[in-house]
Protein backbone atom coordinates (compact mmCIF):
# COMPACT_ATOMS: atom_id res chain seq x y z
CA UNK A 1 0.00 0.00 0.00
CA UNK A 2 1.36 3.45 -0.97
CA UNK A 3 1.62 6.69 0.99
CA UNK A 4 -1.66 8.00 -0.39
CA UNK A 5 -3.55 4.87 0.61
CA UNK A 6 -1.87 4.93 4.03
CA UNK A 7 -3.04 8.48 4.58
CA UNK A 8 -6.58 7.94 3.35
CA UNK A 9 -6.92 4.74 5.34
CA UNK A 10 -6.81 6.91 8.45
CA UNK A 11 -9.86 8.94 7.36
CA UNK A 12 -12.82 7.18 8.94
CA UNK A 13 -15.42 9.91 9.45
CA UNK A 14 -18.03 8.31 7.14
CA UNK A 15 -17.47 4.91 8.73
CA UNK A 16 -17.97 6.42 12.18
CA UNK A 17 -21.37 7.79 11.15
CA UNK A 18 -22.22 4.41 9.61
CA UNK A 19 -21.28 2.61 12.82
CA UNK A 20 -23.45 5.05 14.77
CA UNK A 21 -26.35 4.22 12.42
CA UNK A 22 -26.86 7.82 11.25
CA UNK A 23 -25.06 7.91 7.88
CA UNK A 24 -27.61 9.64 5.59
CA UNK A 25 -26.20 9.41 2.07
CA UNK A 26 -26.61 7.35 -1.11
CA UNK A 27 -30.03 5.91 -0.31
CA UNK A 28 -31.38 3.98 -3.28
CA UNK A 29 -34.60 5.01 -5.02
CA UNK A 30 -36.28 2.23 -6.96
CA UNK A 31 -38.63 4.15 -9.23
CA UNK A 32 -39.48 7.54 -10.72
CA UNK A 33 -38.84 10.77 -8.88
CA UNK A 34 -42.08 12.13 -7.48
CA UNK A 35 -43.69 13.47 -4.33
CA UNK A 36 -43.55 9.94 -2.91
CA UNK A 37 -40.83 7.42 -3.78
CA UNK A 38 -39.83 3.88 -3.03
CA UNK A 39 -36.68 3.70 -0.89
CA UNK A 40 -35.31 0.73 0.99
CA UNK A 41 -38.49 -1.22 0.42
CA UNK A 42 -40.89 1.41 1.71
CA UNK A 43 -42.87 4.41 0.50
CA UNK A 44 -41.62 7.77 1.77
CA UNK A 45 -42.58 11.39 1.19
CA UNK A 46 -39.95 13.07 -1.01
CA UNK A 47 -39.09 16.49 0.36
CA UNK A 48 -35.45 16.35 -0.67
CA UNK A 49 -35.73 16.89 -4.44
CA UNK A 50 -34.78 19.91 -6.55
CA UNK A 51 -37.51 19.06 -9.09
CA UNK A 52 -39.51 22.19 -8.29
CA UNK A 53 -41.82 21.80 -11.28
CA UNK A 54 -42.45 18.10 -10.61
CA UNK A 55 -41.68 17.26 -14.25
CA UNK A 56 -39.17 14.34 -14.07
CA UNK A 57 -42.02 11.82 -14.12
CA UNK A 58 -44.19 13.76 -16.57
CA UNK A 59 -45.14 11.56 -19.53
CA UNK A 60 -44.68 14.43 -22.01
CA UNK A 61 -41.05 14.77 -20.95
CA UNK A 62 -40.49 11.02 -20.96
CA UNK A 63 -41.94 10.72 -24.47
CA UNK A 64 -39.69 13.51 -25.79
CA UNK A 65 -36.62 11.82 -24.33
CA UNK A 66 -37.64 8.44 -25.74
CA UNK A 67 -38.20 9.91 -29.20
CA UNK A 68 -34.75 11.53 -29.18
CA UNK A 69 -33.20 8.28 -27.99
CA UNK A 70 -34.68 6.44 -30.97
CA UNK A 71 -33.72 9.13 -33.47
CA UNK A 72 -30.21 10.03 -32.32
CA UNK A 73 -29.07 7.07 -30.22
CA UNK A 74 -27.64 7.10 -26.73
CA UNK A 75 -24.80 9.60 -27.09
CA UNK A 76 -22.79 11.85 -29.39
CA UNK A 77 -19.33 10.32 -28.84
CA UNK A 78 -17.59 13.68 -28.87
CA UNK A 79 -17.58 17.29 -27.76
CA UNK A 80 -19.73 20.07 -29.13
CA UNK A 81 -16.55 21.58 -30.57
CA UNK A 82 -15.97 18.64 -32.89
CA UNK A 83 -18.48 15.92 -33.77
CA UNK A 84 -20.96 16.30 -30.90
CA UNK A 85 -23.29 19.10 -32.02
CA UNK A 86 -26.81 17.97 -32.90
CA UNK A 87 -29.52 20.14 -34.39
CA UNK A 88 -31.33 19.36 -31.13
CA UNK A 89 -28.62 21.16 -29.13
CA UNK A 90 -28.84 24.22 -31.37
CA UNK A 91 -32.64 24.30 -31.13
CA UNK A 92 -32.50 24.16 -27.35
CA UNK A 93 -29.90 26.93 -27.21
CA UNK A 94 -32.06 29.22 -29.33
CA UNK A 95 -35.12 28.53 -27.18
CA UNK A 96 -33.18 29.14 -23.94
CA UNK A 97 -31.76 32.43 -25.23
CA UNK A 98 -35.25 33.63 -26.16
CA UNK A 99 -36.74 32.41 -22.87
CA UNK A 100 -34.06 33.99 -20.69
CA UNK A 101 -33.89 37.18 -22.75
CA UNK A 102 -30.30 37.13 -24.03
CA UNK A 103 -28.71 37.12 -27.50
CA UNK A 104 -27.39 33.58 -27.36
CA UNK A 105 -26.93 30.58 -25.08
CA UNK A 106 -24.65 27.55 -24.85
CA UNK A 107 -25.70 24.15 -23.49
CA UNK A 108 -23.34 22.14 -21.27
CA UNK A 109 -23.38 18.54 -20.05
CA UNK A 110 -23.71 19.57 -16.39
CA UNK A 111 -24.50 22.73 -14.51
CA UNK A 112 -21.33 22.35 -12.46
CA UNK A 113 -19.17 22.58 -15.57
CA UNK A 114 -20.95 25.75 -16.65
CA UNK A 115 -19.77 27.60 -13.57
CA UNK A 116 -16.39 25.94 -13.19
CA UNK A 117 -15.57 26.54 -16.86
CA UNK A 118 -17.19 29.88 -17.66
CA UNK A 119 -15.90 31.71 -14.57
CA UNK A 120 -12.40 30.36 -15.13
CA UNK A 121 -12.18 31.53 -18.75
CA UNK A 122 -13.72 35.00 -18.58
CA UNK A 123 -11.10 37.09 -16.81
CA UNK A 124 -7.32 37.50 -16.85
CA UNK A 125 -4.46 37.75 -14.37
CA UNK A 126 -4.94 41.47 -13.75
CA UNK A 127 -8.71 41.16 -13.24
CA UNK A 128 -10.94 40.37 -10.26
CA UNK A 129 -13.70 37.90 -9.43
CA UNK A 130 -15.91 38.74 -6.46
CA UNK A 131 -18.39 36.25 -4.99
CA UNK A 132 -20.83 35.89 -2.13
CA UNK A 133 -19.39 33.69 0.61
CA UNK A 134 -22.38 31.35 0.35
CA UNK A 135 -22.17 30.83 -3.42
CA UNK A 136 -22.43 27.27 -4.72
CA UNK A 137 -19.37 25.01 -4.79
CA UNK A 138 -19.27 25.15 -8.60
CA UNK A 139 -18.79 28.93 -8.40
CA UNK A 140 -16.08 28.49 -5.79
CA UNK A 141 -14.26 26.00 -8.01
CA UNK A 142 -14.59 28.26 -11.05
CA UNK A 143 -12.97 31.03 -9.03
CA UNK A 144 -10.17 28.72 -7.94
CA UNK A 145 -9.45 27.76 -11.54
CA UNK A 146 -9.24 31.39 -12.64
CA UNK A 147 -5.93 33.27 -12.85
CA UNK A 148 -7.67 36.39 -11.53
CA UNK A 149 -7.59 37.79 -8.01
CA UNK A 150 -10.40 36.24 -5.97
CA UNK A 151 -12.35 38.25 -3.43
CA UNK A 152 -15.47 37.36 -1.46
CA UNK A 153 -18.01 39.35 0.52
CA UNK A 154 -20.16 38.45 3.50
CA UNK A 155 -23.46 36.88 2.54
CA UNK A 156 -25.81 39.48 1.05
CA UNK A 157 -23.80 42.26 2.73
CA UNK A 158 -23.76 45.08 0.21
CA UNK A 159 -21.43 47.24 2.28
CA UNK A 160 -18.87 44.45 2.25
CA UNK A 161 -19.36 43.94 -1.49
CA UNK A 162 -18.59 47.63 -2.03
CA UNK A 163 -15.47 47.32 0.11
CA UNK A 164 -14.27 44.48 -2.12
CA UNK A 165 -14.99 46.50 -5.25
CA UNK A 166 -12.99 49.40 -3.82
CA UNK A 167 -9.95 47.12 -3.57
CA UNK A 168 -9.97 46.58 -7.34
CA UNK A 169 -8.01 48.56 -9.91
CA UNK A 170 -10.51 50.83 -11.67
CA UNK A 171 -9.46 49.77 -15.18
CA UNK A 172 -9.52 46.03 -14.44
CA UNK A 173 -12.46 43.75 -15.22
CA UNK A 174 -14.47 43.13 -12.05
CA UNK A 175 -16.76 40.07 -12.30
CA UNK A 176 -19.36 39.71 -9.55
CA UNK A 177 -20.75 36.14 -9.41
CA UNK A 178 -23.75 35.35 -7.24
CA UNK A 179 -26.46 32.75 -6.74
CA UNK A 180 -29.90 34.14 -7.56
CA UNK A 181 -31.44 31.77 -4.99
CA UNK A 182 -29.09 30.39 -2.35
CA UNK A 183 -29.51 26.65 -2.50
CA UNK A 184 -29.27 25.79 1.20
CA UNK A 185 -30.88 28.81 2.88
CA UNK A 186 -33.51 29.61 0.22
CA UNK A 187 -33.01 33.38 0.35
CA UNK A 188 -32.47 35.61 -2.70
CA UNK A 189 -29.49 37.67 -3.78
CA UNK A 190 -29.93 41.40 -3.34
CA UNK A 191 -29.82 41.84 -7.07
CA UNK A 192 -31.13 45.43 -7.30
CA UNK A 193 -28.37 46.62 -4.94
CA UNK A 194 -25.76 44.52 -6.75
CA UNK A 195 -26.73 46.15 -10.04
CA UNK A 196 -26.40 49.61 -8.47
CA UNK A 197 -22.84 48.72 -7.43
CA UNK A 198 -22.18 47.29 -10.88
CA UNK A 199 -23.01 50.66 -12.40
CA UNK A 200 -21.02 52.60 -9.80
CA UNK A 201 -17.84 50.55 -10.25
CA UNK A 202 -18.21 49.54 -13.91
CA UNK A 203 -18.38 45.86 -12.99
CA UNK A 204 -19.79 42.79 -14.75
CA UNK A 205 -22.45 40.58 -13.14
CA UNK A 206 -23.08 36.85 -13.56
CA UNK A 207 -26.10 35.26 -11.84
CA UNK A 208 -26.50 31.54 -11.17
CA UNK A 209 -30.20 30.78 -11.75
CA UNK A 210 -29.98 27.07 -10.92
CA UNK A 211 -32.72 27.41 -8.29
CA UNK A 212 -34.43 30.39 -9.91
CA UNK A 213 -35.45 29.05 -13.33
CA UNK A 214 -38.82 27.34 -13.08
CA UNK A 215 -39.57 29.09 -9.79
CA UNK A 216 -39.32 32.89 -10.08
CA UNK A 217 -40.21 35.36 -12.82
CA UNK A 218 -42.60 35.16 -15.76
CA UNK A 219 -43.20 31.49 -16.62
CA UNK A 220 -40.18 30.66 -14.46
CA UNK A 221 -37.63 32.87 -16.19
CA UNK A 222 -35.75 33.29 -12.93
CA UNK A 223 -34.71 35.83 -10.33
CA UNK A 224 -33.26 38.26 -12.88
CA UNK A 225 -36.68 38.46 -14.54
CA UNK A 226 -38.38 38.58 -11.13
CA UNK A 227 -36.50 41.80 -10.36
CA UNK A 228 -36.86 43.13 -13.91
CA UNK A 229 -33.06 43.20 -14.29
CA UNK A 230 -32.36 40.70 -17.07
CA UNK A 231 -30.88 43.39 -19.33
CA UNK A 232 -28.58 44.60 -16.55
CA UNK A 233 -27.19 41.15 -15.75
CA UNK A 234 -24.39 40.29 -18.17
CA UNK A 235 -24.36 36.49 -17.86
CA UNK A 236 -27.16 34.21 -16.70
CA UNK A 237 -26.46 30.59 -15.87
CA UNK A 238 -28.96 27.80 -15.24
CA UNK A 239 -29.30 24.05 -14.89
CA UNK A 240 -31.55 21.37 -16.34
CA UNK A 241 -31.31 19.06 -13.32
CA UNK A 242 -33.88 20.90 -11.23
CA UNK A 243 -36.96 22.51 -12.78
CA UNK A 244 -36.18 21.21 -16.28
CA UNK A 245 -36.31 17.51 -15.41
CA UNK A 246 -33.03 16.48 -17.00
CA UNK A 247 -29.27 16.93 -16.57
CA UNK A 248 -27.03 19.65 -17.97
CA UNK A 249 -26.82 23.41 -17.88
CA UNK A 250 -26.55 26.61 -19.88
CA UNK A 251 -24.97 30.03 -20.02
CA UNK A 252 -26.77 32.92 -21.70
CA UNK A 253 -25.26 36.31 -22.58
CA UNK A 254 -24.63 38.70 -25.45
CA UNK A 255 -22.99 37.55 -28.68
CA UNK A 256 -19.48 38.75 -27.86
CA UNK A 257 -19.39 36.93 -24.52
CA UNK A 258 -20.84 33.71 -25.95
CA UNK A 259 -18.39 33.81 -28.87
CA UNK A 260 -15.49 34.00 -26.38
CA UNK A 261 -16.85 31.21 -24.18
CA UNK A 262 -17.60 28.95 -27.15
CA UNK A 263 -13.97 29.07 -28.25
CA UNK A 264 -12.07 29.25 -24.94
CA UNK A 265 -14.06 27.47 -22.19
CA UNK A 266 -12.28 24.22 -21.41
CA UNK A 267 -15.26 22.47 -19.81
CA UNK A 268 -17.27 23.18 -22.97
CA UNK A 269 -14.60 22.31 -25.54
CA UNK A 270 -13.25 19.21 -23.81
CA UNK A 271 -16.45 17.62 -22.47
CA UNK A 272 -18.68 15.22 -24.37
CA UNK A 273 -21.89 16.91 -25.42
CA UNK A 274 -25.16 16.35 -23.61
CA UNK A 275 -27.00 13.17 -24.54
CA UNK A 276 -29.90 13.39 -27.01
CA UNK A 277 -32.43 12.13 -24.46
CA UNK A 278 -31.32 14.62 -21.80
CA UNK A 279 -31.35 17.48 -24.30
CA UNK A 280 -34.83 16.62 -25.53
CA UNK A 281 -36.15 16.26 -21.98
CA UNK A 282 -34.84 19.70 -21.04
CA UNK A 283 -36.28 21.24 -24.20
CA UNK A 284 -39.72 19.73 -23.64
CA UNK A 285 -39.71 20.82 -19.99
CA UNK A 286 -38.87 24.37 -21.06
CA UNK A 287 -41.79 24.31 -23.48
CA UNK A 288 -44.17 22.95 -20.84
CA UNK A 289 -43.22 25.76 -18.45
CA UNK A 290 -44.37 28.27 -21.04
CA UNK A 291 -47.47 26.31 -22.05
CA UNK A 292 -48.75 25.60 -18.54
CA UNK A 293 -48.54 28.54 -16.08
CA UNK A 294 -50.53 26.46 -13.58
CA UNK A 295 -47.32 24.62 -12.68
CA UNK A 296 -45.69 27.64 -11.10
CA UNK A 297 -48.98 28.76 -9.56
CA UNK A 298 -49.24 25.34 -7.88
CA UNK A 299 -45.62 25.52 -6.74
CA UNK A 300 -46.11 28.85 -5.02
CA UNK A 301 -49.44 27.88 -3.50
CA UNK A 302 -47.94 24.82 -1.80
CA UNK A 303 -44.73 26.71 -0.94
CA UNK A 304 -46.57 29.52 0.82
CA UNK A 305 -48.69 26.98 2.67
CA UNK A 306 -45.63 25.05 3.83
CA UNK A 307 -43.74 28.18 4.88
CA UNK A 308 -46.65 29.22 7.08
CA UNK A 309 -47.06 25.74 8.56
CA UNK A 310 -43.39 25.50 9.54
CA UNK A 311 -43.40 29.00 11.02
CA UNK A 312 -46.58 28.31 12.98
CA UNK A 313 -45.05 25.16 14.48
CA UNK A 314 -42.00 27.04 15.75
CA UNK A 315 -39.31 25.86 13.32
CA UNK A 316 -36.37 28.18 12.75
CA UNK A 317 -36.38 28.69 8.96
CA UNK A 318 -34.27 31.82 8.51
CA UNK A 319 -34.84 34.27 5.64
CA UNK A 320 -36.03 31.87 2.96
CA UNK A 321 -38.25 33.33 0.22
CA UNK A 322 -38.45 30.23 -1.95
CA UNK A 323 -39.52 26.56 -2.09
CA UNK A 324 -36.27 25.81 -0.24
CA UNK A 325 -37.09 25.68 3.48
CA UNK A 326 -34.15 25.26 5.88
CA UNK A 327 -34.95 23.79 9.29
CA UNK A 328 -31.99 24.77 11.43
CA UNK A 329 -30.45 22.21 13.79
CA UNK A 330 -27.00 23.78 14.39
CA UNK A 331 -25.08 20.60 15.19
CA UNK A 332 -23.68 18.10 12.68
CA UNK A 333 -24.34 14.86 14.56
CA UNK A 334 -27.79 16.03 15.62
CA UNK A 335 -28.53 16.96 11.98
CA UNK A 336 -27.80 13.38 10.93
CA UNK A 337 -29.91 12.06 13.81
CA UNK A 338 -32.84 14.24 12.77
CA UNK A 339 -32.49 13.07 9.16
CA UNK A 340 -32.55 9.44 10.28
CA UNK A 341 -35.59 9.88 12.48
CA UNK A 342 -37.45 11.78 9.76
CA UNK A 343 -36.84 8.89 7.36
CA UNK A 344 -38.12 6.45 9.98
CA UNK A 345 -41.26 8.61 10.17
CA UNK A 346 -41.64 8.40 6.37
CA UNK A 347 -40.12 11.73 5.28
CA UNK A 348 -37.00 12.06 3.13
CA UNK A 349 -35.12 15.34 3.71
CA UNK A 350 -31.53 16.40 3.09
CA UNK A 351 -28.95 17.09 5.81
CA UNK A 352 -26.76 20.14 5.18
CA UNK A 353 -23.40 20.24 6.95
CA UNK A 354 -20.00 21.87 6.25
CA UNK A 355 -18.69 22.70 3.70
CA UNK A 356 -22.21 23.41 2.36
CA UNK A 357 -22.80 25.67 5.37
CA UNK A 358 -20.97 27.04 8.40
CA UNK A 359 -20.56 24.58 11.32
CA UNK A 360 -22.99 26.59 13.45
CA UNK A 361 -25.62 26.67 10.69
CA UNK A 362 -26.24 22.97 10.01
CA UNK A 363 -29.79 22.22 8.94
CA UNK A 364 -32.14 19.83 7.23
CA UNK A 365 -33.45 21.10 3.92
CA UNK A 366 -37.08 20.71 2.87
CA UNK A 367 -37.84 21.40 -0.80
CA UNK A 368 -41.27 21.78 -2.39
CA UNK A 369 -42.52 20.64 -5.79
CA UNK A 370 -45.51 21.88 -7.76
CA UNK A 371 -46.97 18.39 -7.47
CA UNK A 372 -46.94 18.27 -3.66
CA UNK A 373 -50.34 18.48 -2.01
CA UNK A 374 -51.31 20.25 1.20
CA UNK A 375 -52.10 16.86 2.68
CA UNK A 376 -48.54 15.71 1.99
CA UNK A 377 -47.17 18.90 3.55
CA UNK A 378 -49.32 18.33 6.63
CA UNK A 379 -48.04 14.75 6.95
CA UNK A 380 -44.44 15.94 6.66
CA UNK A 381 -44.89 18.79 9.15
CA UNK A 382 -46.55 16.47 11.65
CA UNK A 383 -43.69 13.98 11.39
CA UNK A 384 -41.02 16.66 11.64
CA UNK A 385 -42.69 18.30 14.64
CA UNK A 386 -42.50 14.92 16.37
CA UNK A 387 -38.82 14.47 15.48
CA UNK A 388 -37.76 18.01 16.37
CA UNK A 389 -39.58 17.80 19.70
CA UNK A 390 -37.69 14.61 20.49
CA UNK A 391 -34.48 16.63 20.26
CA UNK A 392 -35.82 19.80 21.89
CA UNK A 393 -35.36 21.84 18.73
CA UNK A 394 -38.68 23.69 18.44
CA UNK A 395 -39.24 27.24 19.69
CA UNK A 396 -42.83 26.66 20.84
Common-topology check for domains 13-46+293-390 and 59-291:
no
Query: What pLDDT digit, counting tens, does each position of 174-231 carry?
Result: 999 999 999 999 999 999 999 999 999 999 999 999 999 999 999 999 999 999 999 9
332 burial (CB, 10 Å; 0-12 / 13-18 / 19+) is middle
Contact 177, 135 (CB under 8 A): yes
pLDDT, tens digit only, all 396 positions of the chain? 799 999 999 999 999 999 999 999 999 999 889 999 999 989 999 999 999 999 999 999 999 999 999 999 999 999 999 999 999 999 999 999 999 999 999 999 999 999 999 999 999 999 999 999 999 999 999 999 999 999 999 999 999 999 999 999 999 999 999 999 999 999 999 999 999 999 999 999 999 999 999 999 999 999 999 999 999 999 999 999 999 999 999 999 999 999 999 999 999 999 999 999 999 999 999 999 999 999 999 999 999 999 999 999 999 999 999 999 999 999 999 999 999 999 999 999 999 999 988 889 999 999 999 999 999 999 999 999 999 999 999 976
Task: Decide which of 1.10.10.60, 1.10.287.3510, 3.30.420.130, 3.40.640.10 is the CATH code for 59-291.
Answer: 3.40.640.10
Query: What pLDDT digit, counting tens, does each position of 354-393 carry?
Result: 998 888 999 999 999 999 999 999 999 999 999 999 999 9
Task: Specify the long-range contacts of residues 253-257, CB closer than 8 Å, at least 24 apart.
Answer: 253/102, 253/103, 253/104, 253/105, 254/102, 254/103, 254/104, 255/103, 255/104, 257/122
Question: Helix or strand or coil: residue 180?
Answer: coil
CATH domain 13-46+293-390 topology:
3.90.1150
Q: What is the pLDDT of residue 396?
A: 66
Task: Specify the long-range contacts of residues 352-361, CB closer than 8 Å, at least 24 apart.
Answer: 352/184, 352/326, 355/137, 356/137, 356/184, 357/134, 357/184, 357/185, 359/332, 360/330, 361/328, 361/330
Domain regions of the chain by residue span:
13-46+293-390, 59-291
- Rounded Cα–Cα distance for residues 244 and 100 (Å): 14
Amino acid sequence: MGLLQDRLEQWRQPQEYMEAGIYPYFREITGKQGTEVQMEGRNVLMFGSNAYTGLPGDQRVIDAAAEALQRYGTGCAGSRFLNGTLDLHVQLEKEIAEFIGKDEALVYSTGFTVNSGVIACLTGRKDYIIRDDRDHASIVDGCRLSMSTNLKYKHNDMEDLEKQLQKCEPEAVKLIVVDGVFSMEGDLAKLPEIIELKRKYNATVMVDEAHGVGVFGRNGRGVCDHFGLTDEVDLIMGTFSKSLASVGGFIAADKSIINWIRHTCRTYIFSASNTPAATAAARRSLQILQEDPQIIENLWAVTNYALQRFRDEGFEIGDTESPIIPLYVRDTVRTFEVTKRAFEEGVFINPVIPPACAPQDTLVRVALMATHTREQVDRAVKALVKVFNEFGLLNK
